[in-house]
A and B are shown apart, each in its own frame.
Chain A
Amino acid sequence: MPPLTETVEAAACTTTPDLTSLLGKDEQEIARVMQICNACRYCEGFCAVFPAMTRRLEFTAADTHYLANLCHNCGACLYACQYAPPHEFAVNVPQAMAKVRGRTYQHYAWPSTFGRLYERQGLTIALALAGGLALFLALAAAMAGGLTDKPLAGNFYAIFPHNLLVVMFGAVFVFAVAAFVVGVVRFWRDISPARDAAPPGATELAKARGPAAVEAVTDIARLRYLGGGHGEGCNEDDDRFTQSRRWFHQLTMYGFLLCFAATSVATLYHYLLAYEAPYPWFSLPVMLGTVGGVGLLIGPAGLLWLNLHRGAERGDAAQRPMDRGFIALLFVVSLTGLALLALRDTRFMALWLAVHLGTVMALFLTLPYGKFAHAVFRTAALFKYALEKRLPNRIAVGSD
């Protein structure tokens, strides 16, 4: 694969006058559109993409991947653009960004051949789900001797030994983390040209890291860039602003984190306190998991509904299977998890446990090869942005 640091087009330095000479591949479309935006800048107040753009005069392929992952596809700059189609400049920033985001995930996937999975997301998720379910159903049948049995008083480990689960999920999880670390390190290297670290940048960079990290984390925690710059929210299928996507995403994100926290607390209980599941309803892991699970039901349901209704001109239609597949998977994981909680004292526990673990396994398996990647690369891009804006601007157009 060619390195992304290659210059797409030295915009200010070409001899070809017409903009269409920049048309073509996805990265080139961003370079083309950004050249128009950079001469216009009306959208500077909406999000981080435009201020980041003004620090550049030309856009390398790596720059386009950086900008693409800064974009949250809020839509504000499409509905406010005087050059949006039917204008001949045909500026559609969210769409250009979305297409390249898809390429980022693919390009930085590790191992790189797995990047192909992004092209067949429907199939990938279906296979992962089928595989996960089959695995656990078969295991359950083999180990417990059947899928419905006498009630086991919620004792999961009577069906799957704890250590077996730890090894299986631990391995997949560690693999996912490793895949993301490799990908994001490569991404980071590409989007941070050596010039940033050169003196006097080096000391400034060191000083900027702490505050930049705080800013990036706060912006993510508040989903600042789904606020449209003015805080009134983002656009769905017209120029109206709404908070719905922000709220549903918050429910999803915090729901996911709470479920993750529930598992972590349970693991600590298990190993540190030798306190083993099943935990009572009002124990910390169950409460975290329940609240998180509810968030992870409402959030994805809302996001899916919005996704199904969102204007087609925005985003990349080719990524719909990825978006919807991931959202649906989260929903199913949460649904089966909550159902398991409700059924854990019945004879269906074994069945539901297998179903739930199968879906969780599917989620973990597809984590590095699906929509979850957006969280990783967007975090990196936001951190990069927060760092960059604390460094001196090499371009002095603002000073005149």
Chain B
Amino acid sequence: MAAEPDVLVIGGGNAALCAALMAREAGATVLLLESAPHSWRGGNSMHVRNLRCMHDAPQDVLVDAYPEEEYWQDLLKVTGGLTDERLARLVIRHSSRCRPWMRRHGVHFQPPLSGALHVARTNAFFMGGGKALVNAYYRSADELGVAVRYDTPVQSLELKDGRFVAAVTERGERIAAKACVLACGGFESNLEWQREAWGRNERGEWPAENFLIRGTRFNQGVLLKFMLDAGADAIGDPTQAHCVAIDARAPLYDGGICTRIDCVSLGVVVNREAQRFYDEGEDFWPKRYAIWGRLVAQQPGQTAWSIIDRKAVGRFMPPVFPGTRAESLEELAQKIGLDIATFTATLNAYNAACRPGTFDHTVLDNCRTEGLTPPKTHWAQPIDAPPFFAYPLKPGITFTYLGMKTDESAAVRFAGVPSANLFAAGEMMAGNVLGKGYTAGVGMSIGTAFGRIAGVNAAASAGFHHPEFKEELAYAAAH
């Protein structure tokens, strides 16, 4: 694009694409800068699978109803109140009406994937997952005439009195525009920053050194840091992140969904010292899997092993890496390098503490341990049927919550004053809604709502008004 674009969008994931498409629909000329090359485009968004959606009655792929209030209560619970109710409700209400627009831009929905039926009511799945969604948005952007440049990381911005003036790329190119949307993710890919944020523990370890990043390698937080240094109002805490226990053999970046380990509640988990450290059967796995990242992060070496026996095989989503297999517990301990005596003592104590009950993984059953610390309160069955399997665990960071404070307009704020032409969307401001905790599919709800809002407002600040979005926004904003 030779001429200066009306709207510059920085980032190339869901939030950025939503913003670019909306701004273009409003009539603005749009340039999108993605730091990744074409083959890696789409940031964390290319790894997603679903969108959490409010709905008052069954809606195509969504069964029953998931009313606003229930969605809000769920969000309130997981965040422990660390959320902005106005923004949260805006996101929730927007999620009930955004899918026709998504479909128009080529996104296809489907009923839940097998193994994910527990979210059939609350979450709409993208056919083909996030990469299919991102591809559809890029195609649509191309057809509408949004200019896209890959391999173009932005290094800094030129700001003047709280206004956006220009972006400066890593290669030193200066790109001016009338308005700008920042949608370039959190800082999860930045190992150095993570290390600093998590600090050193009482054992002298730097826990973040053992973290794996589940998503993109491109969310280095360069512009987040730049903006916070430039005085943008911040929200959230750098150690707050979505953090789950994943297979320790996953690649450092982009291991994505397939590296998760889903057999924790079917067996026991021991740390490097061959000790159990938490109730594996506290609640249904989908409700607990997001706390296990932190639990493992607190263990020595930030590592643990999920141990099961034959009874569990076929009852959980098949793991991507095969487990370590052994015919006896001693052999298993030896193979995974744990102290054999301690390991067998831990397992024998657990086995002896299991009370007889009726095993049923679909309910909070009555199989529990007695007189054991920590207890296992459900699905506790002796681990005694060879072959035995062990899966190594490490903390996997999904995305970080530190971001910029915004209001309903998605405008970046400096000392409480909203910028007239600089907006933020997606992970860069998700912390406003998600101070901590997580519930599946809300990341995309936030990114889609604020991506679209940011795009519309950026276009408006350049003098272009979106023809249709007003009504949807009015509905979403009316509390």
Contacts and interface: CB of A to CB of B under 8 A. Distances in A.
Interface of A: 11-19, 35-36, 38-46, 51, 54, 57, 76-77, 79-83, 85-89, 229-230, 239-240, 394-400
Contact of B127 (A79, A86, A229, A396): A229
B315 interface: yes
Contacts of B254: 82, 87
B131 interface: yes
Interface residues of B, number: 51
A16 B315 contact: no
A397 B40 contact: no
Contact of B110 (A13, A15, A45): A45
A229 to B, nearest CB: 6
A229 B110 contact: yes
11 contacts: A12-B323, A13-B387, A18-B321, A40-B320, A41-B317, A42-B131, A45-B127, A45-B128, A57-B318, A397-B316, A398-B115
A254 B321 CA distance: 45
A13 B118 CA distance: 28
B251 interface: yes
B162 to A, nearest CB: 38
A38 B314 CA distance: 12
Contact of A39 (B39, B136, B318, B387): B318
A400 B127 CA distance: 22
Interface string B292-322: 0000000000000000000001111111111
A17 B249 CA distance: 8
Contact of B46 (A19, A41, A82, A85): A82
B219 to A, nearest CB: 15
A80 B135 CA distance: 8
Contacts of A230: 108, 127
Contact of B49 (A13, A15, A16, A42): A42
Contact of A77 (B39, B128, B314, B323): B128
A82 B217 CA distance: 13
Count chain B CB atoms within 10 A of each CB in A12, A16, A36 and give the residue with the most: A12
A374 B323 CA distance: 37
A35 to B, nearest CB: 6
B135 A82 contact: no
Nearest to A41: B113
A85 B38 CA distance: 12
Nearest to A396: B315
B130 interface: yes
Interface string B331-363: 000010000000000000000000000000110
Contacts of A42: 49, 113, 126, 128-132, 257
A44 to B, nearest CB: 5
B418 interface: no
A86 B40 contact: yes
A200 to B, nearest CB: 19
Contacts of B394: none
Contacts of B130: 42, 82
